[in-house]
Homo-oligomer: A and B are copies of this chain.
């Protein structure tokens, strides 16, 4: 009985067409990263669990894929461990896990290589990560992250450059219908301060984060439930109703923040980022100051941002922020960093939905040589050699098959030209070149063939 060729749920194969489109996105992003001075690194799929656990909250710990120790994995587990349930036994029989994001392994890398790395260190990293999440549309258990970070400087130029990079990357992908929401953790802290809600800061962030989904009214209700009084709520309400452009909103918030040192710092940071972005030519910029922006992950300490398509409902396609203490847990403190992560799957879906993949021309050969019998085959191999020596990507149909089958192969593989090689052609030394799209044919010598195909390459 044959085994079913199934995949674990939440994982995917990428065939040639998907690879082409993914590489188009990844190559575009990579070339911009390089242009801005980011250098590539890669870290292993597996990390020690001590590196991973405790970094993503309890929920994150639950979503780690753990690797069973090799060999007699029970040798380190006592009879008591065996009876103590999954949570305890787990720690006795697995020491490694699959990486959950690229940021924590990057922090580990920086600390491990702190004497070789040149700070400020600008690195990019494009690799899969794994999360034991419930799979659903657009959410996978194995997916690529594509991150750029600068570590070892407090300069807000970095934030501005990341915004400019977003602009350049999406510009190169011919995608313009997005906005970048921008704020700072410090502004959230300021809001909590002027609401007298500093003790409830964590809850406040979680509830504000839902504003888009549940609306203002429900947010205010939930905040009331966690004990905020009507003064606090009306303060927040007035902030939420700020109108106008970025400058105007920032000016209004500045007045509201007269008594909040941290809030004013947050505003100054945003103003500086906008100013730098302006110097860097980001005029028509899609940058919107959004004081309700929260970003879930707890390690952010400064400026935060989130990129979403505006014309379709897709969720966040890129996001990031500044973190101050990421390497501290590995023994290197006082190092500030800032980064951005591009969501490749959602960018793929966005371009697809907006029909922005310029072409689906597979990366295939330019020409197929037919193969009808041993004689013609030997002749074709010789022509193939000459084509390849001229750097023309080319292939021969490997079997003696009917013409229809060979043309069908070229058609499905999107090979634009087919050279027909039969006994007449061999005798005449002139071969029939068939244009697969137009159906037109012409007779060419080998040299003419080479020149023709070189021109088309």
A residues engaging B (CB < 8 A)?
2-8, 11-16, 19-20, 23, 34-37, 39-48, 50-51, 62-63, 65-68, 70-75, 82-83, 85-86, 89-90, 93-96, 98, 108-109, 111-113, 116, 118, 120, 122-123, 128, 130, 132, 141-142, 150, 153-155, 157-158, 160, 168, 276, 279-281, 328-331, 362-365, 377-378, 381-382, 384-385, 388-389, 391, 393-399, 409, 412-413
- Interface pair B93/A398, CB less than 8 Å apart: no
- Interface pair A11/B44, CB less than 8 Å apart: yes
Assuming the A-B contacts A68-B67, A118-B409, are A15 and B41 also in contact, with contact meaning beta carbons closer than 8 angstroms in the complex? yes
- Interface pair A112/B41, CB less than 8 Å apart: no
Q: Which of B72, B142, B330 contacts A5 (CB 8 A)?
A: B330
- Interface pair A43/B398, CB less than 8 Å apart: no
User: Would you give the shortest CB distance from A394 to chain B, in whole angstroms?
Assistant: 7
- Interface pair B19/A41, CB less than 8 Å apart: yes
- Interface pair B65/A15, CB less than 8 Å apart: no
Assuming the A-B contacts A12-B44, A65-B67, A409-B118, are A364 and B37 also in contact, with contact meaning beta carbons closer than 8 angstroms in the complex? yes
> Complex formed: what's the CA distance from A106 to B73 in Å?
30
User: Would you give the shortest CB distance from A104 to chain B, in whole angstroms?
Assistant: 10
User: Would you give the shortest CB distance from A31 to chain B, in whole angstroms?
Assistant: 9
- Interface pair A330/B3, CB less than 8 Å apart: yes
Residues in B neighbouring A108, C-beta threshold 8 A: 5
Q: Which of B12, B62, B280, B329 contacts A384 (CB 8 A)?
A: B280
User: Would you give the shortest CB distance from A83 to chain B, in whole angstroms?
Assistant: 8
- Interface pair A157/B93, CB less than 8 Å apart: no
Copies of this chain: 2
- Interface pair A112/B43, CB less than 8 Å apart: no
Least CB separation from A133: chain B residue: B70
> Complex formed: what's the CA distance from A63 to B51 in Å?
24
User: Would you give the shortest CB distance from A67 to chain B, in whole angstroms?
Assistant: 5
- Interface pair A112/B382, CB less than 8 Å apart: no
- Interface pair A45/B157, CB less than 8 Å apart: no
- Interface pair A281/B43, CB less than 8 Å apart: no
Residues in B neighbouring A150, C-beta threshold 8 A: 398
> Complex formed: what's the CA distance from A412 to B62 in Å?
41
Least CB separation from A132: chain B residue: B70
Assuming the A-B contacts A19-B42, A44-B7, A281-B385, are A109 and B13 also in contact, with contact meaning beta carbons closer than 8 angstroms in the complex? yes
- Interface pair B382/A279, CB less than 8 Å apart: yes
Residues in B neighbouring A132, C-beta threshold 8 A: 70-71
Residues in B neighbouring A378, C-beta threshold 8 A: 279
- Interface pair B46/A15, CB less than 8 Å apart: no
Query: 9 smallest A-B Cβ distances: which pairs?
Result: A2-B331, A155-B398, A37-B395, A279-B381, A281-B385, A11-B44, A16-B39, A70-B132, A5-B112
User: Would you give the shortest CB distance from A341 to chain B, in whole angstroms?
Assistant: 19
Residues in B neighbouring A396, C-beta threshold 8 A: 157
- Interface pair A19/B40, CB less than 8 Å apart: yes
> Complex formed: what's the CA distance from A384 to B37 in Å?
12
Assuming the A-B contacts A3-B51, A44-B142, A393-B36, are A118 and B413 also in contact, with contact meaning beta carbons closer than 8 angstroms in the complex? yes
> Complex formed: what's the CA distance from A8 to B66 in Å?
13
- Interface pair A35/B279, CB less than 8 Å apart: no
> Complex formed: what's the CA distance from A63 to B378 in Å?
45
User: Would you give the shortest CB distance from A368 to chain B, in whole angstroms?
Assistant: 8
Further pairs besides A5-B109, A11-B44, A34-B363: 18, Cβ < 8 Å? A4-B331, A5-B330, A7-B47, A13-B43, A13-B113, A37-B395, A44-B142, A66-B68, A67-B68, A72-B86, A118-B409, A118-B412, A120-B397, A153-B398, A154-B399, A155-B399, A280-B382, A280-B385
